[in-house]
Structure 1
Amino acid sequence: MNYSIKKAQLEDLDEAAALFNLYRVFYRQEPDLVKATAFLRARFLNNESDIFLVIAEGKAVGFVQLYKLYHYTKLQKQWLLSDLFVHPDYRGKGFSVALINRSKQWCEETDACGLLLETEKTNVIGNQLYLRCGFEQDELHNYYNWWIK
């Protein structure tokens, strides 16, 4: 299947938000297209993330969202691969790998040292995909979250 990958702009908000909403549902969140759209609009307007869309059959069918971090030992910028999603109707066509490869290219284009990601232990497909794409599982660190209640 022919496809292209483009860096999303504000004019791509509706397509990106529709995919982002489905991504959140994948992680057991209630669908809320209005809030998903507002969230991504703020990221675009405040230049807080970079989103790449995979375009196939004339529409966005997948995305990756990257946030800028800084690595303490490398003393360089690093990208957090926060969100990666391909619409269920388009899975198995290599689009996730293509989005990861575009993210790696973005690291080179922005003089970053690499990518960091995390996913749920239960995300069997994702965990296999990341290893296949050259990511190394970090066995040295535990990651913790603290949330305001």
Structure 2
Amino acid sequence: MTLHGHFHWNELNTRDPERARMFYGATLGWTFSETPMDDGVYWVAMMDGCPVAGIFTMTSPDFDGLPEHWFSYLAVDDVDVRVAQAVKAGAELIRPPFEAAGAGRLAIVRDPSGAVLGWITPETVSETVSETGS
């Protein structure tokens, strides 16, 4: 269960998922399960049968000029409400909230310092609990 405001998921954004799978499999013992997407495959890294991270292939022109990198998602109780609060507090909305099948509702924001990260309300509502436990 991921609490509101806690890191929920990390994914490697790469142009060479095969090389990444070979590296992390050899060095950490990760295995991988394949999840088909409209524009390719999303790889879920597994450790001892549990998902630990994802591997996303950067194929879109949106990624031109960006280096390969790890990207983090924070769990929030309501991504639409929290994104509106973030924008009011000075954040820039990079990608408005959208549904990601099997994951939940996500948005990408740039905080006032310039750091970019994802915010997610996981698909299973009970997976994200507010700080008060409700």
TM-score (norm 2): 0.27
Report 1 or 2 for greater relative contact order, CA contacts < 8 Å, sequence distance ≥ 6. 2
Q: More helix per residue: 1 or 2?
A: 1
Q: More strand per residue: 1 or 2?
A: 2
